[in-house]
Amino acid sequence: MAAQIINGKEIAAQIRSELKERVDRLASEGRRPGLAVVLVGDNPASAVYVRMKKKACQEIGIYSEEHRLPSTISQGELLALVDQLNADPKIHGILVQLPLPKGLDEEEVINRIDPRKDVDGFHPVNVGKLSIGLPAFVPCTPAGVLELVKRTGTTIAGKKVVVLGRSNIVGKPAAMLFLRENATVTICHSRTVNVKDECAQGDILVVAVGQPQLVKGDWVKPGAVVIDVGINRVDGQIVGDVDFSEVKEVAGAITPVPGGVGPMTIAMLMKNTVDVADVK
């Protein structure tokens, strides 16, 4: 039987509508959430992401500010902007769009963001809190992955979760999140021996490698939930890291690309921002 297709677009729209209700209530109490997005230079992909984030803020009613800066800006000027946003009570979340142009020190910029406004979840304080099980901002893409799995109704505790990819923004935090949900987690990467056999153990398989259609039908345990984080451009088409046409015949549920994890990333960014404003 072909797999259930997990509709990330629809789930993300539902999350945005739930958030809109919370924002309306917060705004009526004079606590409208605010997000500041900082975009340095003219990376076209970054500009697209920033536009999508701004549009989502408008839809939900989050106040948003965009700070566009030339790639010639100095490290000191960028840090001064972060300081200013850290101190601004209208701003609950700060997002510095990565990658930064060459010559700017990303790590220093991320470390300068107040961890309480770090809605991307990249600050070492939030990374550390996630790993020791304290409440923390969780990076938006893995948070979206977990939400998608939960909304399929799958029980996570006790399941074998295989995460393919160990990046700081997707693979590692995804593994930590599933561990927090009491799954048994395996992390695979480019040096893993027998990746295919490892993947085939997963009741839940999360793939974030950036390799078009790497995961084939015989890499997947029959009935598994497969979440494809990959976004790859091949011959003008967007494809995932999973061979969708093969794997959908084996998996129990699968996300498409596009329309799976992608829309969830922005929805979770909105959620993180609303959560900051919504503290009693």
List residues with catalytic annotation: 53, 97, 120
- Is residue 214 close enough to count as binding ligand NAD by CB under 6 A? yes
Q: Out of 33, 41, 230, 256, point to the residue binding ligand NAD (CB under 6 A).
A: 230
Q: Letter for the amino acid at 166?
A: R
Q: Out of 37, 38, 109, 195, point to the residue binding ligand NAD (CB under 6 A).
A: 195
Instruction: Give the separation between CA 171 and CA 164, rounded to whole angstroms.
Output: 7
Q: Out of 170, 183, 226, 247, point to the residue binding ligand NAD (CB under 6 A).
A: 170
Parallel/antiparallel/unpaired status of strands 93-96 and 63-69: unpaired
Report helix, strand or coil for 54. Answer: helix
Based on the number of CB atoms within 10 Å of its own CB, is 73 exposed (0-12), middle (13-18) or buried (19 or more)? middle
- State which residue, 33 or 212, has the beta carbon closest to ligand NAD: 212
Neighbours of 243 (CB within 10 A): 18
Instruction: Give the separation between CA 191 and CA 152, rounded to whole angstroms.
Output: 31
- Is residue 46 close enough to count as binding ligand NAD by CB under 6 A? no
- Is residue 164 close enough to count as binding ligand NAD by CB under 6 A? yes
Indicate the residue whose CB is closest to ligand NAD. 167
- Is residue 211 close enough to count as binding ligand NAD by CB under 6 A? yes
Sites for ligand NAD among residues 121-160 (CB under 6 A): 141
- State which residue, 111 or 192, has the beta carbon closest to ligand NAD: 192
Residue 135 near residue 275 (C-beta atoms within 8 A): no
- Is residue 258 close enough to count as binding ligand NAD by CB under 6 A? no
- Is residue 196 close enough to count as binding ligand NAD by CB under 6 A? no
Instruction: Give the separation between CA 140 and CA 127, rounded to whole angstroms.
Output: 13
Residue 67 near residue 80 (C-beta atoms within 8 A): no
Residue 277 near residue 32 (C-beta atoms within 8 A): yes
- State which residue, 157 or 193, has the beta carbon closest to ligand NAD: 193
Instruction: Give the separation between CA 80 and CA 53, rounded to whole angstroms.
Output: 23
Site size toward ligand NAD (CB under 6 A) is 25
Q: Out of 166, 221, 248, 271, point to the residue binding ligand NAD (CB under 6 A).
A: 166
Residue 203 backbone dihedrals phi, psi, to 5 degrees: -75, -30
- Is residue 188 close enough to count as binding ligand NAD by CB under 6 A? yes
- Is residue 261 close enough to count as binding ligand NAD by CB under 6 A? yes
Q: Out of 229, 247, 267, 277, point to the residue binding ligand NAD (CB under 6 A).
A: 229
Find the shortest distance in angstroms from Cβ 199 to ligand NAD. Answer: 9
- Is residue 189 close enough to count as binding ligand NAD by CB under 6 A? yes
Contact segment (CB under 6 A) with ligand NAD among 31-39, 128-136, 154-162, 230-238 equals 230-238
Length of the chain: 280
- Is residue 111 close enough to count as binding ligand NAD by CB under 6 A? no
Rounded to whole angstroms, the maximal C-alpha distance in the chain is: 58
Helix%, strand%, coil% for the chain, nearest 5: 45, 15, 40
Which stretches of the chain bind ligand NAD, using CB under 6 A? Answer: 141, 164-167, 169-171, 188-190, 192, 195, 208-211, 214, 229-232, 261-262, 265
